[in-house]
């Protein structure tokens, strides 16, 4: 074995242990931790983050990485090991210019900020969150500034962190295409909103029965309960300690059947990705999904591309009707499929239909660009937010909780993250058209046999973890990089058909 790599692995093993601990604290805070605990637990998180930091950012590791980055020093390294070296190098570049005490203070700040955000959201009061948000943004700007190479803008640095090779120039073009197609299409669809009746979705649905059905459907799409669990949290999410410990959450509403069902399919998609990372790379830095965008492509492929199709529900709908016989008595499969795909401009991103969804993302992207370009004062965020909703979707939030405060991301310091959601949808559509050309997806779905579909994703995407980036995975899979045209085509085909529009 390569001696330098062996030495590096000692640091990496520690790094992964600290990361697992931090992940567990985060999971715990979202699902279970007592309300008053965070003021104290944030200290623990700060210390562990600091350990994480100094274990990676030190002269020993830098020297090792410096050596191992040269080709002549890579003797004996296999494909995975080379990917690990590359990934650690990237992480070091992200962190090395940040003073450790600032990193620790920032970690404690974001650990506390989720609680502050959550209370502000409950009180529908953006002003309560503003001081924390200002502090986080100022750290983010400072951190990006430390790393800024000549001519590279801070927000581009953040975008590249979440999706390698992406920047504002590329995303402006990407979102430009989508905006151009979606805004007029959504307007057309909105005119015909009454053609689809969805009142059935808001009847009374017993929560225990919802839980049972959601657990069933999670296993049905492939979530493995021997290496995963489902819990509850205000906002559904997925996390993982390694490929044998993958955790998803769900939420339930008595007067909304869809919300829990599609949330669980979505999170199961994320979970399936993490569960199928190769054993050889789990518990290493490359043992996780390659990017947020690719992750979202998997969750959205399951949730939307197949999960809202008629073929998918053909074998499942009878069971759903059995679970809720009274509530769904007058609802046919055809009616149900129209209902779950109905597009209605709404205020909440996580509850949005597929068509208006990208507009929610675009609004956040445009606002983040303004923040990092210094073109907006944070205290004006609610106003700008509300204006954009009015402009793109014709609706306006009645309060901050349904507007600028709805998402947790900024409280965690995740700027540059939101575009991943749209990138994910676009990849999902692109993968779908590709997979249709190599297997009879619809037939499999109708037969209730998801195994070949899942295995194809396992073998072409999941198992590689971060050893390949998004565009490398797509190229190896279908000889083409990300292309927004497929996404536009997907939305147009779907909604033209659903609303019987003639384009």
36 belongs to the binding site for a copy of itself (CB under 8 A): yes
What does 404-452 look like in DSSP terms, one character per residue? TTS-SGGGGT--S-THHHHHHHHHHHHHHHHHHHHS-HHHHHHTT--HH
43 belongs to the binding site for a copy of itself (CB under 8 A): yes
Binding window for a copy of itself (CB under 8 A); candidates: 220-228, 361-369, 384-392, 482-490: 220-228
When the beta carbons of 44 and 167 are compared against a copy of itself, the nearer one is 44
To the query of whether residue 101 is one of the catalytic residues in this protein, the response is no
20 belongs to the binding site for a copy of itself (CB under 8 A): yes
54 belongs to the binding site for a copy of itself (CB under 8 A): no
State the CB neighbour count (10 A cutoff) for residue 95: 17
CA pair distance 259, 29, nearest whole angstrom: 23
When the beta carbons of 115 and 307 are compared against a copy of itself, the nearer one is 115
For a copy of itself (CB under 8 A), the number of binding residues is 38
Candidate residues 198, 202, 244, 434; the one interacting with a copy of itself per rule CB under 8 A = 244
Q: Which of 15, 108, 258, 267 is catalytic?
A: 267
381 belongs to the binding site for a copy of itself (CB under 8 A): no
Residues 6+ away with beta carbon under 8 Å from 246: 223, 227, 228, 238, 239, 240, 271, 274, 275
- For residues 489 and 429, is the Cβ–Cβ distance under 8 A? yes
Residue 411 CA, distance from chain mean position: 16
CA pair distance 362, 393, nearest whole angstrom: 12
Residues 6+ away with beta carbon under 8 Å from 490: 305, 429, 432, 433
223 belongs to the binding site for a copy of itself (CB under 8 A): no
CA pair distance 114, 26, nearest whole angstrom: 10
48 belongs to the binding site for a copy of itself (CB under 8 A): yes
Q: Mask 260-289, x = binds a copy of itself (CB under 8 A)?
A: ----------------------xx------
95 belongs to the binding site for a copy of itself (CB under 8 A): no
When the beta carbons of 231 and 333 are compared against a copy of itself, the nearer one is 231
Nearest to 262 by CA among 227, 331, 313: 313
When the beta carbons of 37 and 195 are compared against a copy of itself, the nearer one is 37
Candidate residues 8, 16, 65, 294; the one interacting with a copy of itself per rule CB under 8 A = 16
| Phi, psi (deg, nearest 5) at residue 190 | -60, -35
Binding site for a copy of itself (CB under 8 A): 13-14, 16-17, 20-21, 24-25, 28, 32-37, 39-41, 43-44, 47-48, 51, 225-229, 231, 241-247, 282-283
């Amino acid at each position: 074995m390569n001696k330098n790599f062996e030495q590096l692995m000692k640091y990496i093993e520690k790094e992964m242990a600290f990361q697992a601990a931090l992940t567990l604290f985060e999971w715990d805070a979202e699902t279970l931790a007592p309300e008053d605990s965070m003021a104290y637990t944030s200290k623990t998180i700060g210390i562990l983050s600091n350990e994480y930091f100094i274990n990676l950012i030190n002269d020993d590791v830098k020297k090792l990485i410096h050596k191992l980055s040269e080709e002549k020093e890579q003797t004996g390294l296999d494909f995975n090991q080379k990917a690990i070296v590359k990934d650690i190098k990237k992480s070091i570049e992200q962190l090395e210019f940040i003073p450790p005490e600032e990193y620790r203070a920032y970690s404690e700040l974001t650990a506390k900020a989720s609680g502050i955000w959550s209370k502000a959201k409950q009180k529908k009061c953006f002003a309560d969150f503003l001081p924390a948000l200002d502090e986080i943004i100022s750290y983010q700007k400072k951190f990006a500034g430390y790393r800024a190479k000549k001519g590279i803008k801070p927000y581009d640095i953040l975008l590249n962190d979440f999706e390698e090779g992406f920047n504002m120039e590329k995303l402006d073009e990407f979102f430009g295409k989508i905006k151009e197609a979606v805004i007029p299409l959504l307007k057309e669809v909105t005119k015909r909103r009454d053609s689809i009746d969805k009142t059935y979705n808001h009847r009374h649905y017993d929560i225990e029965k919802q839980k049972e059905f959601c657990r069933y459907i999670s296993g049905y799409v492939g979530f493995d309960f021997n290496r995963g669990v489902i819990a509850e949290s205000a906002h559904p999410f997925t996390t993982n300690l390694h490929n044998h410990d993958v955790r998803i959450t769900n939420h339930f509403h008595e007067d909304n059947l869809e919300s829990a069902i599609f949330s669980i399919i979505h999170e199961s998609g994320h979970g399936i990705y993490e569960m199928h990372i190769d054993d050889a790379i789990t518990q290493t830095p490359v043992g996780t999904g390659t990017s947020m965008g690719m992750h979202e492509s998997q969750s959205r492929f399951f949730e939307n591309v197949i999960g809202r199709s008629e073929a998918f529900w053909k074998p499942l709908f009878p069971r759903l009707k059995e679970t809720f016989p009274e509530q769904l008595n007058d609802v046919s499969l055809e009616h149900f499929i129209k209902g779950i795909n109905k597009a209605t401009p709404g205020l909440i991103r996580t509850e949005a239909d597929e068509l208006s969804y990208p507009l929610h993302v675009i609004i956040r992207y445009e606002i983040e660009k303004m923040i990092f370009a210094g073109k907006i004062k944070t205290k004006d965020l609610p106003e700008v937010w509300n204006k954009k909703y009015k402009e793109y979707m014709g609706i306006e939030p009645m309060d901050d909780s349904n507007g600028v405060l709805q998402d947790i991301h900024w409280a965690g310091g995740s700027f540059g993250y939101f575009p991943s959601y749209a990138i994910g949808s676009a990849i999902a559509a692109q993968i779908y058209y590709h997979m249709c050309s190599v297997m009879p997806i619809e037939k499999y779905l109708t037969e209730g046999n998801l195994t070949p579909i899942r295995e194809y994703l396992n073998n072409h995407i999941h198992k590689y973890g971060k050893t390949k980036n998004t565009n490398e995975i797509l190229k190896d899979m279908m000889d083409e990089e990300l292309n927004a045209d497929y996404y536009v085509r997907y939305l147009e085909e779907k909604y033209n058909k659903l609303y019987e529009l003639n384009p």
